[in-house]
Amino acid sequence: MNSKITVFGSFVVDLMGRSPHLPVPGETVKGSIFKMGAGGKGFNQAVAAHKAGADVTMITKLGRDTFANVALDTMKELGMDTGHLFYNETEGTGIALIIVDENTSQNEIVVVSGSCNTITKEDIKTVEDVIKASKYVLLQFEVNADANERVINFAHENGVKVVLNTAPVQPIEDSLLAKVDIVTPNEVEAEALTGICVDSLEAAKKAAKVFFDKGVKEVVITLGSRGVFISSNGREEIVPSFKVDAIDTTGAGDAFNGGFLAALAEGKDVWEAARFASALAALSVQRLGTTPAMPTREEIDQFLKEHSA
Ligand code: ATP
Ligand code: RIB
């Protein structure tokens, strides 16, 4: 059975500081902890899926700088394939400035995508074989839009299932959305893309219908600590999250997406996959950081065993 996943997306270095409150414009706040680590939605999702046991190829574009080593070191340490990385000789590796409120665990993020926003059609040509050999390709909106468009078109033409995590949200042509098999917005992104405020199960169903009318096949809307709404083959339900003490929810969506794909690639149905992904995300929000917060497969299995009732 083909269980390969290609993650086509961003790598950036996360520069995270914790603060007693999120600063208002013009305010300087004395923070407590600072951490630098691997991040970027694409990279976080790839690491989450890899640590969950999936066969993952990460495709991204780095700069020729020391921040690129954060990606390479992390991938080597985790035993990930580093053979499909592009380099920009002049544009630096991207970064994200992240502030996490130490009381509420809410965050503010500015992401500067840098080199991973410069993926060319020539770059993509060199990884067509990898994409074609995959069961799923998972994308986000943190790289240049024309690169995503090429990959979605190529994957769709070659029978590879396309999963689009619409973060950070931006407009997408209906003709491209029609080639997406599974869309995974959070509630804010779902509202931006459908015009429907997802504040109830009924509203989530309406938002899903907007996506279905555009040709998407399955809809997964993450709802933070409330869980995740899924509409698949006529069944529409919320899979609740696990109750845990969150200290940093940055990257919860990435944890969920990586876990969801890993489980789907193993052959689990969307409902089982959502439970697995929710466990992975619940473990990740109890740790600081994004990529470094992703749990191992053993930890996920143990967590699910402990929460089986
Ligand atoms: P981010 O942008 O911070 O990465 P997101 O908005 O894309 O996150 P969310 O909807 O906040 O994603 O969360 C994704 C999933 O993570 C949820 O569906 C849920 O399963 C899990 N999750 C998020 N927050 C919590 C929490 N506080 N406790 C337990 N699980 C959580
Ligand atoms: O989803 C979390 C990620 O968004 C962070 O790792 C940061 O890099 C931003 O891109």
User: How far does residue 250's CA lie from ligand 2's centre (Å)?
Assistant: 7
pLDDT of residue 1: 82
Q: Is the CB of 274 under 6 A from ligand 1?
A: no
What pLDDT, on a 0 to 100 scale, did the predictor assign at position 190? 98
Q: Which of 196, 187, 271 is nearest to 225 (CA)?
A: 187
pLDDT, block means (10 residues), the chain with 309 residues: 95 97 96 95 98 98 98 98 97 97 92 97 98 98 98 98 97 97 98 97 98 98 98 97 95 98 98 98 96 97 92
Classify residue 207 by burial, with Cβ atoms within 10 Å: 0-12, 13-18, 19+: buried
Nearest CA to ligand 1 atom 17: 224
At residue 208, the pLDDT reads 98
Closest atom of ligand 1 to 246 CA is: 27
pLDDT of residue 309: 64
Coil, strand, or helix at residue 42? helix
- Domains by residue range for the chain, with CATH: 4-21+33-306 (3.40.1190.20)
Whole-model pTM: value is: 0.97
Q: Which residues make Cβ contacts (< 8 Å) with residue 11, sequence separation at least 6?
A: 38, 39, 40, 42, 43, 58, 60, 61, 62, 71, 93, 94, 116
